Structure 1
């Protein structure tokens, strides 16, 4: 059976806390990392009803999107509503963990889940984060020393990109050099031009590891002067970032697209509303789970016909849908759904990640217990059935 600390490591791999906004309060708000976990409840909000649900389910972890303590606190007395929830969870042995803005921007995060449930294709970030900065290193090595240099570079972290490591490319060629007086050549004579068959080894590496990689090369290379080339690769958009944009399988009118949104999202009293011409043709759709009004113009610039998000305001919506034709040739329809409903699809995603990552209950999510044999206890992951959308009535 995995420990809470095992789950926390996996969650930080999928939703790194370092990618959360500076104002956010993500991570563990209560709980002992040394506790064994066999049941997890995932929910959008940590509220009394979801705390009750976690306790009834016998969960050792309540994982929510929204933090329990978003603003700074100086105490958690049981007489305070949020303090009371913390006390109740601690007494019941339920830890609480929040993945908020770090889950918003993740590759398989909140907006990605919203785009998926809509059936969008060719999904990419609306406001992409740059991919990690990379260097491209070429090193010229005698053929018999290639393996030792590759090993040294690998230990330094070079050749690791995405889900791959030890990525290299080699080309054979001829090197020429003439040792001058005072040199100590590993091969060749002072004053004599030397021609030698060598290999050009190419590898990419995170730019932050540049110093370690160059030191590793110098230590493993047989020559006192190492010939190398180092170039900085241009910064390209990565798979993470705010919002998502993609294509519908086929064009829909705004009226039909709004009905589609209502059909695939959980029902709320708020419902789904749209601003724009009902017969406008929608092909490209941008989305942002939660409050994403500030990205409307970015959605227009990215070529979206409609933008789905939450918590839209009257004046900014008027300005967006009534933008003069002379300013933009592309009208942008806005679709507003309940905040909770646009974030709910992510619960199935993180639940699936936990089930697959800890499918056999291995203590590190690897599927093997401490003895190395396949574990027997699976982590039970439940998706909350509690509707935490605060709006409960809708009248016309």
Structure 2
């Protein structure tokens, strides 16, 4: 079985920390580099429910997409929610490693996993990484459908293929319009609207779309080949969860190649913060 340090070296090769955004906090949060690793748990969020799941699983390493301390801290006291996560992990000798925007930019990355979950064929990055001569890395992905669908049918596909959340999937656009090309971005994607418009796609699948950027994107008089840009807004957690399956498969391949015998697990605990949805009892009215 490998030592944690060996596994971390492999993870840094998959998702080099230097490719993360400057504001990001990626890499190893806790863990003894000399301890052996036999069982690994993948999850999106390093919250207490996930730490407790890692304990029940007897995992040696927890790998999450989201950072624990994105903006730094002055305490890891167990009286705080994040401090309790740290105490739980260290008490049970569980290491925590984070791959965030470095996993977003990777090849394959978070948006490749999202495209795969939706049965979309990736043609290019949405925002290419200028340091990649092959032109495969970058933020988001530009994709094609194997066969055209109406926006309503495509929205149903997104809702069916992604993990179920209280939010579900929101759609902006004519339900009957035809969708052939799609841009996707796992996680918060309304900062990429300029790239989406430049790509000329029919629809954009992402999460956390705010009112004003979404409204401005819909009102822009720059129609695509089949009409104005359609929007499909899913829960943040749901758009990034497919990456855990992809990442686990990547580590499985490395383990097999090196004879490590690692056992990888994927958390199916829903850590999206929204827990219920109350639909309007009648059609929306003008206020």
Q: TM-score range by the shorter chain?
A: over 0.9
Alignment partner, residue 285 of structure 2: none
Alignment partner, residue 129 of structure 1: 129
Aligned pair count reads 278
8 Å CA contact retained: 1:131, 1:239: no
Gaps of 5+ in 2: 280-287
Distance 2:65 2:122 in 1: 26
Provide the secondary structure at the position in 1 that maps to 2:127. Answer: strand
Q: Does residue 312 in structure 1 map to residue 204 in structure 2?
A: no
Alignment partner, residue 263 of structure 2: 380
Q: Does residue 260 in structure 1 map to residue 152 in structure 2?
A: no
When you count strand as a share of all residues, which structure comes out higher? 1
Max radius of gyration: which structure?
Answer: 1
Provide the secondary structure at the position in 2 that maps to 1:295. Answer: helix
Provide the secondary structure at the position in 2 that maps to 1:238. Answer: coil
Distance 2:45 2:16 in 1: 20
1:118 Cα deviation from its structure 2 partner: 1.2
Q: How does 1:42-191 map to 2 (within 5 A)?
A: 42-132=42-132
Provide the secondary structure at the position in 1 that maps to 2:123. Answer: strand
1:247 Cα deviation from its structure 2 partner: 0.5
8 Å CA contact retained: 1:130, 1:237: no
Distance 2:262 2:119 in 1: 29
1:131 Cα deviation from its structure 2 partner: 4.2
1:322 Cα deviation from its structure 2 partner: 2.1
Q: TM-score, normalised by structure 1?
A: 0.68
8 Å CA contact retained: 2:149, 2:178: yes
Q: 1:245 aligns with which of 135, 142, 146?
A: 142
Alignment partner, residue 366 of structure 1: 258
Q: Does residue 2 in structure 1 map to residue 2 in structure 2?
A: yes
* Aligned Cα root-mean-square deviation (Å): 1.5
Alignment partner, residue 167 of structure 1: none
1:237 Cα deviation from its structure 2 partner: 5.8
Q: 1:344 aligns with which of 241, 251, 256?
A: 241
Alignment partner, residue 24 of structure 2: 24
Distance 1:122 1:24 in 2: 26
Gaps of 5+ in 1: 133-235, 360-364, 368-376
Distance 1:93 1:122 in 2: 39
1:324 Cα deviation from its structure 2 partner: 2.6
1:75 Cα deviation from its structure 2 partner: 2.3
Provide the secondary structure at the position in 1 that maps to 2:248. Answer: helix
Distance 1:102 1:380 in 2: 24
Q: 2:250 aligns with which of 353, 356, 377?
A: 353
Distance 2:224 2:272 in 1: 35
Distance 1:333 1:85 in 2: 40
8 Å CA contact retained: 2:201, 2:224: no
Provide the secondary structure at the position in 1 that maps to 2:129. Answer: strand
1:92 Cα deviation from its structure 2 partner: 0.5
Superposition misfits of 4+ residues, deviation over 2 angstroms: 327-330
Distance 2:122 2:88 in 1: 45
Q: 1:395 aligns with which of 231, 256, 278?
A: 278
1:104 Cα deviation from its structure 2 partner: 0.6
Distance 1:393 1:247 in 2: 33
Q: TM-score, normalised by structure 2?
A: 0.93
Query: 1:67 and 1:33, CA in 2 relative to 1: closer, same or farther beyond 3 A?
Result: same
Alignment partner, residue 199 of structure 1: none
Distance 2:157 2:126 in 1: 21
Query: 1:276 and 1:87, CA in 2 relative to 1: closer, same or farther beyond 3 A?
Result: same
1:81 Cα deviation from its structure 2 partner: 1.5
